[in-house]
A and B are shown apart, each in its own frame.
Chain A
Amino acid sequence: MNFTSNQEIILRWKDEPAPLLGVLQEFHDRDGYLSEQVLRQIAKTLKIPVADLFGTVTFYHHFSREPGGLEAPRVCNGPICRMHGSDDLLKSLEGASPMPCSGRCDQPIPVLRGRETLVGLPGSDLERKPSLMPPVLPDNMEECVFVDIRDPRRASLEGYLNSGGYDALKIAIELGSEGLIKLVDDSGLAGRGGAGFPTGRKWKAVADASGNPKTVVCNADEGEPGCFKDRCIMDYDPHALVEGMVLAAYATGATRGFIYLRYEYPETEEILASAIREAYEKKFLGQDILGTDFAFDLYLRRGAGAYICGEETSLLNSLEGKHPFPRNRPPYPVTNGYEDLPTVVNNVETLASVPPIVRNGAHWYQDLGIGDQGGTKIISLSGDIVRPGNYEVPLGFSLMELIEDLAGGCALGRSVQAVTMAGLSGGFLAGGDLDVTLDEPSIREKGSFLGAGGIMVFDDTRDMVKVAFQAMEFFAHESCGKCFPCRIGTQRLSERLAGTAGPTDLQQWLDEVIDLGKTMTETSACGLGMAAPLISSSLLKYFPESVSHHVTG
């Protein structure tokens, strides 16, 4: 019935770069699910073996294969939303299914319905609400990324240009690509997506790599539970991200770029799409940018519900339409990235930091940090605190000062029992170790890491074994299944933390949990499986009595 129009849609995508996610999303949005007929037609036209396509589609949890699936509500059951009663909300909504943290921890509980995000607590009405603006900081704290974000005109290109937009690109063109890379390198800017690789060095590696065309990919998958900073940047300052990408392209010689946006941010997709449209109209994208012979095309692609697609090589496979297992490294994306060609993969915050750094200089950025630390980091702070939200703090800032002074601390009469680091990937910090400063050296010394900067706070009423179980369940749910230690290990650790399997003898229980953790940390094929056991090991470290009680009853 739909045959001709289906075929038209597929043919339109066929000649686009990274067509698969685009064409799947278009049909998913149009039909409300992906039918067998449509999948067969896509496979045939894009020349993908149909079994491969089918397997790949089943990898993504948000692709529905039943009619009506798109509109069925998905309720966040991340750690913060569970504390706010998401289990009850889930039960009260017909046909609802749970989804992992969807980046609204500062404004729980998000419910995704079709292309709309609603928020609300059980018993109250669900409402469409925009993301929260970052709280205003005391006058003595200087921001880099957020400095202009509260200006309501900032999301339009006109407003962006009024507050210094694209000045950085003009400066960069004066400096030339080498000068630009040197500036970024001197600023000390390091990846804000989790791994913290120095951005200037990454760009230089791509600039120096042979092979064309080169690509810039913005990692906007923001799948780490407890992280919602990239959403805020994209919602209120999308042009900063676009300019950051144009700068990355100019520095490296890339001619095409992608923003890989997580499925759970449909409103953000519209904001980005219109920002990209505006940038094309005003010739900040496309051919002859700013009258030079520099050309850069930018495409927007939306993920479909898979945390692992935030891992850069899994993301690249996903863009290429392949099964999104992470790749074996080396080689790294800087030489063998998108379509096996040199590719920059950078986080949203990293890219959005670049324009202000270029405008104000490397030293300015360095000096924003405290002590030996240079620059700033956005912390997504949520959980049992009075003012959850995104806080851009100097690196080296004290964790407890952030929690107590900026975010108002826990509710009256409560105190901080533990926090998570790097969303969930850094495990817990508690007790005396809460005394850290917000920078990698300080936090790594405690066996954790700052990563993407998601911090969830749990007060003294929370059952930490239960929180640990929910965290491990997330990793098990998101394990891609490529490597044995993670595929089986996350499952076994979840079962042990839930108490549904495993020894009842404490020593045997500990031996199993410790052995699983060690083997996962040291042999997993990517960061997910390596980081997941930090949850169990930090639980054992800080809460041995609770663990013993959990095992022996």
Chain B
Amino acid sequence: MKKPTLVLDGDQIGFNLGETVYEVAERSGIDIPTLCYDSRLDPFGGCRMCIVEVEGSRNPVASCTTKAMPGMRVKTAGGRLDMHRRVLLEMVVSENRELDVDPLSGYASQELKLLADRYDARSGRFNGKQSGQSFEDDPNPFIKRDYDNCISCYRCVRVCAEQEGDYAITVVNRGFETKISTEFEGLLNDSACTFCGQCIQTCPTGALGDLKALANREVPGETKKTRTICTYCGVGCSIDVLSRGEKVIGVLPAMDGPANKGALCVKGQFAYDFVGHRDRLKTPLIKNGSGQLEPASWEDALNCAAEGLSKAVQEHGRHSLYAIASGRAPNEVAYVMQKFVRAGLGTNYIDNCSRA
């Protein structure tokens, strides 16, 4: 069957049934502005920044919630669309305390600021009461809750529910009084929050901020981003490690990570202090005659381990050994480990810590 098509800013474009107008546009390289959108979440339709003109429809429609239809004629910019986008942004800017937040706040933290500049929305129009209420005395060590900068896009609430399945935070009240909070408006520590940091990373304003990264704000040097894999477990979440000089200053989830698509858990997101910790082992250690650990070369260490293992098998039999593979090891390493235990040591006593 021939693929259905629509006309997008004059170009005929094929699409798959079920795709939204926004998805088709994004795929075609058209940059429609959004604020409440996160491609991993169900489209919400709140910010109305993604409006487009659809021929035959009196009012513009939200492209993130509108399904592409065969023969649709769509315009994504210009005319009243740009006017409305500017007015919407001027409104949002008017309810917030600050636009310019440190990029260390989180992955998406610059979205509002960039759009405000793109649409020239720092006009100071529409002043009035500001919304939100900061929760600066939440004593948790990870998440800044500065709702003075919250624009009620509910991305945090939705990511927590849809991505993380934790349902730790919620939308409280309604209208201009809306705020983000936990059950009975308590502290994050007392809620179902697992401190995965997902909400921080999807927040488009820095209202939710990465406290650990922000604490490194003053570390000198250029911020360098290094793509790597979280070392904590076998899932293999992709991360971008942020560093300045020799110091790791933060971790961003990789939105394009094949295993995690931007998700992390508290360990991958926040538990990177071991990298520069003074207790961290830098060489193998071997116990000397008096039971003291002493630095050794890898060759000496491996020889020592091989000797010890062989001795145990000789003296107590092969079933005297039992191996547990680390949950932090990927599949390949776990495979090699069981091979070593079965073929090398001759026992089937092998398990994994995630199961044991």
Which chain A residues have a beta carbon within 8 Å of chain B's beta carbons? 36, 49-52, 54-55, 58-59, 306, 308, 323, 328, 330, 476-485, 487-492, 495, 500-502, 512, 515-516, 518-519, 521-525, 530
Contact = CB atoms under 8 A, between A and B. Distances in A.
A479 B131 CA distance: 14
A68 to B, nearest CB: 19
Contacts of A516: 87, 91, 126
A488 B170 contact: no
B47 A483 contact: yes
Interface of B: 35, 43-49, 51, 59-60, 62, 65, 67, 80, 83-84, 87-88, 91-92, 94-95, 125-129, 131, 151-152, 161, 167-178, 181-184, 191-192
Given A481-B178, A488-B94, A522-B59, A52 B170 contact: yes
Chain B interface main SS type: loop
8 contacts: A51-B168, A51-B192, A481-B178, A500-B128, A516-B91, A518-B83, A521-B59, A522-B84
Given A51-B167, A495-B128, A484 B174 contact: no
Contact of B175 (A36, A476, A492): A476
* Cβ-closest 9 pairs across A and B: A49-B167, A55-B170, A479-B175, A501-B128, A481-B178, A328-B65, A51-B170, A488-B91, A519-B87
Nearest to A519: B87
Interface centre among A58, A59, A480, A516 (most CB of B within 10 A): A58
Contact of B91 (A308, A481, A489): A489
Contact of A50 (B47, B125, B175, B183): B183
Contacts of A491: 128-129, 175-176
Nearest to B178: A481
A525 B127 contact: no
A483 B45 contact: yes
A328 B45 contact: yes
Nearest to A526: B45
A236 B229 CA distance: 70
A480 B175 contact: yes
Contact of B174 (A481, A518, A523, A524): A481
B51 A523 contact: yes
A171 B171 CA distance: 49
A284 to B, nearest CB: 38
B169 A481 contact: no
Given A328-B62, A488-B94, A522-B84, A479 B126 contact: no
A495 B62 CA distance: 28
A52 B157 CA distance: 10
Contacts of A476: 175-176
Chain A interface main SS type: helix
Given A51-B183, A55-B170, A516-B91, A524 B48 contact: yes
A192 B173 CA distance: 30
B88 A519 contact: yes
Contacts of A530: 59
A491 B177 CA distance: 10
B152 A502 contact: no
Given A59-B174, A523-B51, A487 B169 contact: no
Given A59-B174, A489-B91, A483 B46 contact: yes
Contact of B125 (A328, A477, A512, A523): A512
Nearest to A43: B183
A350 to B, nearest CB: 25
B152 A54 contact: no
Given A50-B192, A51-B167, 4 more contacts: A52-B170, A55-B170, A330-B67, A495-B129
Nearest to B126: A492
A479 B46 CA distance: 13
B166 to A, nearest CB: 8
A482 B46 contact: yes
A55 to B, nearest CB: 3
B155 to A, nearest CB: 13
B172 A490 contact: no
